[in-house]
Each structure stands twice: as structure tokens, then as C-alpha cells.
Structure 1
Amino acid sequence: MKEFFCYDDRLGIHIPNFDSEWDFYRLDTQHSIMFHWETIRGSIPDRIADLENSINIKQAQLSDENDFHRSCELNAEIAELASVINDLWILYREHQEISDKVLQ
């Protein structure tokens, strides 16, 4: 399945990466891809929970931080983690529609 997925460092998961249109793949290949994707997709909520935990830790650090420069860094880190969470939710929901269509 490595040829159909690539690791996204920012998101922390493998994401679909196709060289051809979906319909060009054989049906058994499509099913294998979908099974692999559903396994990855199922891990997205856990990945989000981990990121939310990191945000909570950084927010706790921020509440005790007196150094303005470090406060700005923590805010930027929190914003980036929130952005990753948003992108993961979009990917999770977007591909739910695709999964539903393919599995029907």
C-alpha cells in the first residue's frame, strides 16, 4: 500500500496519494486501498486527542509563563496544533463521503 499513501509529517498520518484516477484501479486494488485507508482514518480521532492533550499542556504552561517572548511562542505552537486538528477533521469528514460512495 506504500505506493498509494504517503506520510504527512505535519498531520502525523499517512494520507492518500494516487498517481491515477480512482476508476483506473482494479476493483480488488480499490478495496485494498479503502481497507487500508479506513484503518488510517480510524486512527484520526486518537491522533486528534493526542494533539488536544498537547494543547492543554501548552495552555497550562502559558498560564504560568511570565516571559512575553515565550508566551508568544506557546501561542504560536497552540495555534499550529489547532490548525493540524482542523485539517485532520476535514480529512476525516471528507473521506467519509468517499468511503460511503465506494462501499455502496
Structure 2
Amino acid sequence: MRNVFQYNDRLGIELPELDREWGQYSEAERAEMLVYWEQIRGRIPDRIMSLEQVIIRKQLQLNVEDDFPLSCALNREIAELASCITDLHIWYRVNQEFSSRMHS
């Protein structure tokens, strides 16, 4: 089932890319996908913490930066990292949706 998951460079994790509706997969395929997703999902909190550390370093840089264009660039990078964290939080919650679909 790993071919259903594709690595996402922006988020740094594999994401499901289903080529058909969830209900069109066999129960065994869905179970296998859920197990694999749970492994990926378990790494999301560490990925979030890693991105938070990068944000902290960039914020420290920003606090002492006098060059306006560089400050703007740092702000954009911080905003993008924060956006990734938000998306990772959303993907972390996807497990509940998968599980409810599995049992319906």
C-alpha cells in the first residue's frame, strides 16, 4: 500500500494520494493503509517540533536584523513554516476520519 502514499517535500512526510474512493478499496487494503498511515502520523509531532525550532531560530535572527529586505524574507520564511505546522496538525487529525470511514 505504500504506493498510495507520496512524499510531500513541503511537509516532510508521506501523504495519502488515493486513486479511487475510500469505499472502493477492499477492507484488507484499507486496514493496511490505516496501519501505514498510523506510522506516518506518529512522526508528525516530531516534525512539528523540528519546524518550531527552526521558527524560533529565525525569530531570534529577526529580533536583531536591521536590513529591511532580509527582515521581510525572514518573516515570509516564518509564515511558511507556521503554515506547514498548521497543515501537519490537520493531517494529524485525519486518522479519525479514516477510522470512521473504515467502520462505515
Q: So what's the TM-score if we normalise by structure 1?
A: 0.91
Aligned to 1:20: 20
Name the structure 2 match of 1:89. 89
Q: Which aligned segments of 4 or more residues in structure 1 are displaced greater than 3 angstroms?
A: none
Stretch deviating more after TM superposition (83-92 or 48-57): 83-92
Aligned-residue RMSD, C-alpha: 1.5
Shift of 1:76: 0.5
In the alignment, the residues of structure 2 paired with residue 2 and residue 99 of structure 1 have an alpha-carbon distance, to the nearest angstrom, of 16
The correspondence of residues 1-104 of structure 1 with structure 2, limited to 5 A, is 1-93=1-93, 95-101=94-100, 102=102
Question: TM-score, normalized by length of structure 2?
Answer: 0.91
Gaps in structure 2 of 5+ consecutive residues? none
TM-aligned CA deviation for residue 103 of structure 1: 6.1
The number of residues matched between the two structures is: 103
1:18-72 deviations in Å (ceiling 9; x for gaps): 1111111111111111000000011111100000000000001111111111111
Structure with more contact order per residue of length (Cα contacts < 8 Å, sep ≥ 6)? 2
Q: Distance in 2 between matches of 1:2 and 1:100?
A: 18
Which secondary structure does the structure 2 equivalent of 1:84 belong to?
Answer: helix
Q: Partners in 2 of 1:103 and 1:58 — Cα distance? A: 44
